[in-house]
Amino acid sequence: MNTSAHHLQVAIKRIDSSLPLPTYATAGSVGFDLLCREDTEIAPRKLGRIPGNVIVQTPPGYVLLLAMRSSTPRRKGLLIPHGMGIIDQDYGGEGDELLVQVYNFRDEAVMVTRGERVAQGIFVPVMRVTWHEIDDVGTGRGGFGSTGG
């Protein structure tokens, strides 16, 4: 077990307290698993939202990132359409349940059942920047994917 991991105190509220708090699946997991609060059907080739059962107060200086578990696209045919969810520090009040926006890329409806693990959350430190605008940026690499040869 990695004993050098930092621990962050985070305020959390469960909407359905009969479901467990989010947990880390293994000692080496960097993301905690979010559980689906209630059976949710996602129509074919449509967007849907999976209720994550918790309201989280992200600590100052951090962002909460939500990503699919790696098995979810294969098992369920679901992706997060924008790659990952970004939960801002001011989204943590009453009614701000974590919702996982998903896209069903299959031709049939997908059912996500209550208690099922579908997504994971990771707290990441963030910095605000102050822009220092310049007139000359020097020579670049030559475009998108230019180092791939």
Question: What string of pLDDT tens digits covers the 149 residues of the chain?
Answer: 445 567 899 999 999 999 999 999 999 999 999 999 999 999 999 999 999 999 999 999 999 999 999 888 899 999 999 889 999 888 899 999 999 999 999 999 999 999 999 899 999 999 989 999 999 888 877 777 766 55
Half-sphere exposure of 144 (CA within 13 A, CB side): 0
Domains of the chain by residue range: 11-128
Report d(CA 39, CA 67) in Å as an integer.
20
| 78: Cα separation from own chain's centroid | 13
Q: Identify the three-state secondary structure at position 27.
A: coil
Answer for the pair 148, 142: CB distance below 8 angstroms, yes or no.
Answer: no
Half-sphere exposure of 4 (CA within 13 A, CB side): 0
Q: Domain 11-128 maps to which CATH number in 1.10.287.1770, 2.70.40.10, 3.40.50.920, 3.30.450.20?
A: 2.70.40.10
pTM: 0.83
- With tokens 């696209």, the residue in question is 73
